Structure 1
Amino acid sequence: MLAVASRAVRRLRRTLEMDELAYALLSHTGGSFGFPEKYEFIVKRHFQIVYLEEFLNDKDAYSQKIQVILLWWHMPKIDRELLESLPNLKVIGSSGAGVDHLDLQLISSYGIKVTNTPHVGDDATADVGMALMLSSAKNIPEGNRIACSPETSHFDLNWVGDDITEATLGIIGMGSIGYSIALRAKAFRMNILYHNRQRRKPEEELAVGALYCSNMADLLQQSDFVMLVVNLTPETHKLIGKHELQLMKPTATLINISRGPVVDQDALVEALTNRRIKAAALDVTYPEPLPRNHPLLTMKNVILTPHIGNATDKTRQKIAEKLVSNACAIIKGFPITDIVTAP
């Protein structure tokens, strides 16, 4: 009898604890776009999860309860209709650093705070930037194709790639990810140039041996590899266009790990076709994925990856934890640094 009573008490305690948890709206679970099932435990420590379909099927039950929306890579979509249906919504937490998918003016007009998870994925993204540069310079994808092809009978010993060691790397956008790339490039004894809205501290430049270019044109003209690591803003939309590509060396490679619209893709296709630049390695495009007949998909001097900058299990779990901890702090009235404000 005591054991039965004890179990009943534990169940009651769990029920009461669940009733005290705030409600968080997520898009859906699993699959290609949903919140990963293996990270759900992180959310459930602090929130009761309501998935979008569940909410839409019974708005009366949940509309007053939901205080948090947790976006997993832009899902669910935030629009006026959704905001109108959640009168007690306090915070929208967005995974990743970029918030160009959100109408910040609209959200702030409802008195709702927006948080993001900057810096958590810096190292993973920097690793991908270096991997793309190395893969392009050393012809890794094409080399793999040749080595595995049933038609291959011999290797062309005069087929060569490019050096990374002591080459010049131009980093456009020397924020935390850009600086992480510079730290890695230093190990390759690369000559590092950078262009940024604000110059970094002298001791930071010295630590990686980076030289500041106040004029982006100077960086483009000197670099063997140009790495784009900027946020997408109205100022950086098509930052690299026909003019900028013409400034680059014909032996140079463009690497983009920021956002697709930072590059004018039509101008890039033209530059690659005409060998105005040697190659491109892109983790981001617009749209994503590209139409299956897009010329970038079949160019041998192009490497494409499916926006995998911070796609490691360790990093994604940290992002989920940061996403949840930020939302908890807002609900409890604690100060946090990862607040995004409307421009």
Structure 2
Amino acid sequence: MIFVTGGAGFIGSNFVLNRLAHADEAIVVIDKLTYAGNRENLASVEHDPRLHFSHTDICDGAAIAALFVAHKPRAIVHFAAESHVDRSILGPGEFIRTNVNGTFELLEAARKYWSELPEAERATFRFLHVSTDEVYGSLGADDAPFSETTAYAPNSPYSASKAASDHLVRAYHHTYGLPTLTTNCSNNYGPYQFPEKLIPLMIQNALDGKPLPVYGDGLNVRDWLYVLDHCRAIERVLEAGTPGEVYNVGGKNEIRNIDVVTVLCGILDELRPRAGGRYSDLITYVKDRPGHDRRYAIDPTKIERELDWRPAETFETGIRRTVAWYLENRGWVDRVRDGSYREWIDRQYGERA
């Protein structure tokens, strides 16, 4: 039995689906079901007897402790987080609550549970904390990619809250001996991503004939990682990672935002031609967001060398799989884009036009 917090979200649900497909182990999904958590992501496995769902807030320490007592997990994979930088700028409080306080409550419950396990089970227990490359700050054009020893320099309320949670996880290992693992990943993309992030937002706006809003000059660089490659990396760390260690997970795909949007437009021109023009005609530059980091890049040498993990997808193959999934699942998109989501998009990008 393992716990997966945030297992109804984008990366978490992909991890759960992938894990159930090839590992015969029960999973308890713990999810508050905020705007980005969607049980429909797990619809294909909802009747699988190995899957248990708990509608629980990780900030509720008593409820989390009760889940440990009831299910006795051998490991925790902690995805649950508020994760959108733009939302953190407009409302940082929820990011502190979930990412910092929630991680603290989870660590406290795990520590108490772990400390009372028999010695053999204590030795094999793991707490895997999933974090982000944004904790390292921003890179210049010629700077070396982030490594596990790069100093933290978060530049948004989101990345600051994740940095704080990383430090808590580290402290619980060094102070209490809790066998923790931390992964810091680059930008994920793929199926089930909530359509406020760059790639699904551009796909849906293009199909709807709406402007494709690109921040600033569009030259901000991100390292793109296909979500299932990330899930496989997490499984390797869970299986073979050394407690107390950090593993950076990157796709080796540094691409400028404007080039990502241009590639998407080209694929859509091919697969779903637009009447009256090309999708790139919809590209619109909007006012940049505050504190927008210029470049992220991950050096995954450590996880490649120590755990023999490498991404299976190139950006070219992964982005085609992603576009195809969104074209085939427009009903899913329509159902998650409720009134509050449309209000958010209008507020965020309408003011920047």
Which structure has the greater CA radius of gyration?
1
Q: Which has the higher helix share?
A: 2
TM range (shorter): 0.3 to 0.5
